[in-house]
Structure 1
Amino acid sequence: MSRPAYGGGGGGGDLPAVFPDWSPYQDLESAARAYLRDPDVAMEALNGVLRGASVLGFTLERFVNEVNGVWQEVAICDGSRLILWHGEDVPPDDGPAGSMTSSLRVVPVSTVSEVGCRRRLSRNPTGQIRVDSIDVYLLLSSLDEGVPGDEAQLPPRHDALRFGKTLDDGGAGQIARLEEFARLVASVVGRPTL
Structure 2
Amino acid sequence: MSQPGFGGQDVPAVFPDWSPYPDLESAARAYLRDPDVALEALGGVLRGASVLGFTLERFVNEVNGVWQEVVVCDGSRLVLWHGEDVPPGEGPPGSMTSSLRVVPVSTVTEVGCRRRLTRTDDGRIRVDSIDVYLLLTSLDEAPPGDEIGGVPRHDALRFGKTLDDGGAGQIARLEEFARTVAAVVGRPLL
TM-score by length of 2: 0.95
Computed over aligned residues only, the root mean square deviation of the Cα atoms, in angstroms, reads 1.6
* Structure 1: stretches of 5+ with no match in the other structure: none
Matched, 1:16 2:17: no
Q: How far is the alpha carbon of 1:147 from its aligned partner?
A: 2.9
From 126, 129, 136, the equivalent of 1:133 is 129
Matched position secondary structure for 2:121? coil
- Tell me what 2:43 maps to: 47
Q: How many angstroms apart in 2 are the aligned matches of 1:9 and 1:131?
A: 34
Q: How far is the alpha carbon of 1:148 from its aligned partner?
A: 5.8
From 76, 89, 92, the equivalent of 1:96 is 92
Matched, 1:146 2:142: yes
1:154-190: CA deviation from partner (whole Å, max 9, x where unpaired): 3210000000000010000000000000000001000
Q: How far is the alpha carbon of 1:10 from its aligned partner?
A: 5.6
Matched, 1:57 2:53: yes
Matched, 1:116 2:140: no
Could you tell which deviates more after superposition, 161-170 or 147-156? 147-156
- Tell me what 1:163 maps to: 159
Over 6 Å off, 4+ runs: none
Asked if the contact 2:51–2:72 (Cα under 8 Å) also holds between the matched residues in 1, the reply is: yes
Q: How many angstroms apart in 2 are the aligned matches of 1:161 and 1:151?
A: 17
* Structure 2: stretches of 5+ with no match in the other structure: none
TM-score by length of 1: 0.93
Inter-CA distance 149–99: structure 2 relative to 1 (3 Å threshold): farther
Q: How far is the alpha carbon of 1:150 from its aligned partner?
A: 4.0
Counterpart AA for 1:11: G
Q: How many angstroms apart in 2 are the aligned matches of 1:153 and 1:141?
A: 19
Identity %: 83
Matched position secondary structure for 1:113? strand
Inter-CA distance 86–193: structure 2 relative to 1 (3 Å threshold): same
Inter-CA distance 134–10: structure 2 relative to 1 (3 Å threshold): farther
Inter-CA distance 20–10: structure 2 relative to 1 (3 Å threshold): farther
Inter-CA distance 125–137: structure 2 relative to 1 (3 Å threshold): same
Q: How far is the alpha carbon of 1:140 from its aligned partner?
A: 0.2
Inter-CA distance 126–152: structure 2 relative to 1 (3 Å threshold): closer
Asked if the contact 2:161–2:167 (Cα under 8 Å) also holds between the matched residues in 1, the reply is: yes
Q: How many angstroms apart in 1 are the aligned matches of 2:51 and 2:45?
A: 12
